[in-house]
Amino acid sequence: MKIAVTGASGFIGSALVRALRERGDEVYPVVRHPPGHGEVGIDLARRHLDTSRVPGHSLEGIDAAVHLAGAPITTRWSAKRLEVIRSSRVAVGDLLARSLALLERPPAVLVSGSAVGFYGDRAEEMLDETSPQGTGVLAELCRSWEQASAPAAERGIRVVTIRTGIVLGGTGGAEGGILAAEVPIFKLGLGARLGDGRQWTSWIALDDEIAVLLRAIDDNDLVGPVNSTAPNPVRNAELTDAIAHVLGRRSRLVMPKSLLRIALGRGAADELLLASQRVLPKKLTDAGYVHVHAHLSDALTVALAPRGPQSRLAP
């Protein structure tokens, strides 16, 4: 298959590109810098994709596209920063979807990233793909992110929006994502639960995240929003204890809400770290998907193991 991928150099995107190439697919990274051989350039100012460096100088005839681009979101939210976060997801997604819709031979599928932030802070409520949108900056961002793919859907392209939870590492070490930032802290014995630690955290192992993306590309029956989370969400206190246990450390500290709000600002702290989202992967379960790492302890053991060969991804 010929597949265009935005965010191809990111934590999830680079793992997806490896998996696609390992199974024999031809990948065209979609990049913000001047494109090199086999890459597609993004020019948001002119609302244009530069396809001069790919075979045929066009995306005509590609089989699929995946939109995973997105500026880092775990930071203090200024108005300027939020615009960068939004543009990298929504503006790029809209440009990609509109460009695909204009092709004479559009791809069969567009898989677009999203996040469980769509559901907002929902306390103890159990959430699946039928649950309504929540409130807050992240919920609105995710709604716009998903709606950016509408031009592709209107053209008849199958669109799958992947609402991803926290992605835990990957086989061979924490090479990005949340664990890359947290492991050094935990190794110093400074790992702490956030607030009261009772908020639900929806997570997924990197191996499963990549397998879900591959399934979304290949499975014609998957369409619309799909929760990419493990079937066993945990409370923040449990996640904290599990990371500490795998690393052979203790976890008795507490990071009060007030300090989190000082560090990140109230909005980012409340929505990124303190929000409770108990999300279940109902569509995946109904489709017969079996998680490689369904339980947190197993996922963390693999994610934090010494570097080695990549594990086999789920079919």
Q: Where are the domains of the chain?
A: 2-173+203-229+278-292
- Flag whether pLDDT at 173 surpasses 80: no
Q: What is the mean pLDDT of residues 139-160?
A: 98
For residue 264, the 8-state DSSP code is H
Helix spans in 58-205 (H): 79-86, 92-101, 137-147, 150-154, 177-187
For residue 88, the 8-state DSSP code is I
Q: What is the mean pLDDT of residues 267-285?
A: 97
CA atoms within 13 A on the CB side of 275: 25
- How confident is residue 190, by pLDDT bands cut at 50, 70 and 90? confident
Which residue type, as a one-letter code, is found at position 205?
A
Q: 145-149 long-range CB contacts below 8 Å, 24 or more apart? A: 145/89, 145/90, 145/93, 145/112, 145/113, 145/114, 145/115, 146/112, 146/114, 146/118, 146/225, 148/89, 148/90, 148/91, 148/93, 148/94, 148/97, 148/112, 149/67, 149/93, 149/97, 149/110, 149/112
26: its two tokens: 């031809």
- Flag whether pLDDT at 170 surpasses 70: no
CATH topology of domain 2-173+203-229+278-292: Rossmann fold (3.40.50)
Cβ contacts of residue 163 below 8 Å, gap of 6+? 114, 115, 116, 118, 129, 142, 225, 226, 227, 228, 229, 279
81: its two tokens: 């920063």
- Flag whether pLDDT at 91 surpasses 90: yes
* Mean of all residue pLDDT scores within the chain: 93
Report the distance separating Cα 137 and Cα 141, nearest Å: 6
The predicted structure's pLDDT at residue 313:
38
The predicted structure's pLDDT at residue 225:
98
Q: What is the pTM of this model?
A: 0.94
28: its two tokens: 């065209």
Least confident of 37-41, 158-162, 180-184, 263-267: 180-184
Report the distance separating Cα 96 and Cα 152, nearest Å: 9
Q: Is 124 left (phi over 0), alpha (psi -120 to 50) or beta?
A: alpha
The predicted structure's pLDDT at residue 305:
80
Q: pLDDT tens digit string along 228-244?
A: 999 999 999 999 999 99
